[in-house]
């Protein structure tokens, strides 16, 4: 493997088409402001490098990036690439990781609007992320110990698992399919509308109007706080360990909770069953133990 180290590159396609190269302690920055430094490259290892120019990794294969930084000016850093490992990095450029596949991200800090669009096969662990439209239309995702903040995350994703994550977001999981979330915290508004095959186990959930228009929705021993107008028009089976502020017109299935603050059943097509140990008030002012 060729070793390139302690150099600075700012020309257009500075290392275009490289193969089996270790790049160490290098900077991609400078007055020439060149793009696409490592486009169409294979078997590349990056260590302790600084990227301040656009489009460095397009159409690459077998790419390892360690202990490096991509600044806010490193726009659209990784597109159309596959077999990627990114460890101990700062990824701060907009629109990174688009149309990529077979990606492992560990112990990274991501600040990148529109990160991870239409990607396939992402394993992300021990990472923080701040983004909008995060992971949109991506498939085959595994997230562990990830802390995320931002709007409109995980929309249209398919085949995903989340474990021990904290997601502070709104409009998350819209139109998502085949998703499992375990032992995680989800804070945000309008969670998981129009999802299909979403299962949450031992999760803590907050925010207005969650889980509306869902199909095959399951919640197992989850806590819901500040969650009003939940489950509207959804096919749901849920066992909740806390009070739900209000439930509105579940389409089918059964919801069990210690307490329902308000039950709204004003749609003739809503046939979901709601059971509670006690109910403080309902839309028809009837206290109940079991409502169907």
Q: Is residue 64 part of a domain?
A: yes
Q: Read off the pLDDT band of 173 (50, 70, 90).
A: very high
Same domain, 34 and 99: yes
Do 107 and 146 fall within a single domain? no
Asked if 212 and 75 sit in the same domain, the reply is: no
pLDDT at 292 over 90: no
Asked whether residue 76 falls in the same domain as residue 14, the answer is: yes
pLDDT confidence tier of residue 286, bands split at 50, 70 and 90: very low
Average pLDDT value for residue range 115-139: 98
Task: Specify the pTM.
Answer: 0.93
Distance CA 281, CA 274 (A): 13
Same domain, 70 and 181: no
The residue written with tokens 């989850």 in the block is: 222
The answer to whether residue 99 sits within a structural domain is yes
Q: Which two tokens stand for residue 81?
A: 């690439």
What domain count does the chain have? 2
User: Taking the CB of residue 273, how many other CB atoms lie within 10 A of it?
Assistant: 14
On whether residue 125 sits in a domain, the answer given is: no
Please tell me the predicted confidence (pLDDT) of residue 291.
Answer: 33
Domain membership flag for residue 124: no
138 and 83 inside one domain = no
Least confident interval from 38-52, 69-83, 233-247, 278-292: 278-292
State the residue range of the domain holding 105. Answer: 1-111
At 287 the pLDDT is 34
Q: What is the mean pLDDT of residues 218-228?
A: 98
Specify whether the CB–CB gap between 67 and 48 falls below 8 A. Answer: yes
Residue 104 sits in the same domain as residue 146:
no
The full DSSP string for 15-39 is TTT-EEEEEES-EE-STT----TTT
- What CA–CA distance (Å, rounded) separates 245 from 242? 10
- From residue 40, give the alpha-carbon distance in Å to each of 13, 33, 87, 115, 289: 10, 19, 21, 21, 65
């Amino acid at each position: 493997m060729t070793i390139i180290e302690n150099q600075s590159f700012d020309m257009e396609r500075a290392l275009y088409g490289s193969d089996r190269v270790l790049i160490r302690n290098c900077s991609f920055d400078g007055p020439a402001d060149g793009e696409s430094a490592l486009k169409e490259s294979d078997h590349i290892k990056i260590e302790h490098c600084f990227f301040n120019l656009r489009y460095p990794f397009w159409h690459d294969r077998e790419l390892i990036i360690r202990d490096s930084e991509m600044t806010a000016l490193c726009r659209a850093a990784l597109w159309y690439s596959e077999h990627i490992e990114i460890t101990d990095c700062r990824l701060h450029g907009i629109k990174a990781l688009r149309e990529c596949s077979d990606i492992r991200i560990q112990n990274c800090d991501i600040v990148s609007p529109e990160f991870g669009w239409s990607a396939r096969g992402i394993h992300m662990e021990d990472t923080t992320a701040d983004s909008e439209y995060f992971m949109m239309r991506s498939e085959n995702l595994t997230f562990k110990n990830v802390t995320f903040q931002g709007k409109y995350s995980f929309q249209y994703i398919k085949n995903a698992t989340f474990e021990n994550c904290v997601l502070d977001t709104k409009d998350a999981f819209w139109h998502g399919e085949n998703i499992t979330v375990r032992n995680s915290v989800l804070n945000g508004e309008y969670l998981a509308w129009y999802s299909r095959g979403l299962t949450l186990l031992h999760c803590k959930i907050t925010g207005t109007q969650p889980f509306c228009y869902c199909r095959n929705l399951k919640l197992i021993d989850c806590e819901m706080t500040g969650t009003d107008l939940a489950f509207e028009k959804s096919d749901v089976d849920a066992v909740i360990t806390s009070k739900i502020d209000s439930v509105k017109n579940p389409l089918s299935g059964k919801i069990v909770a210690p307490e329902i603050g308000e039950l709204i059943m004003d749609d003739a097509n809503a046939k979901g069953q709601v059971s509670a140990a006690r109910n403080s008030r309902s839309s028809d002012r009837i206290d109940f133990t079991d409502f169907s």
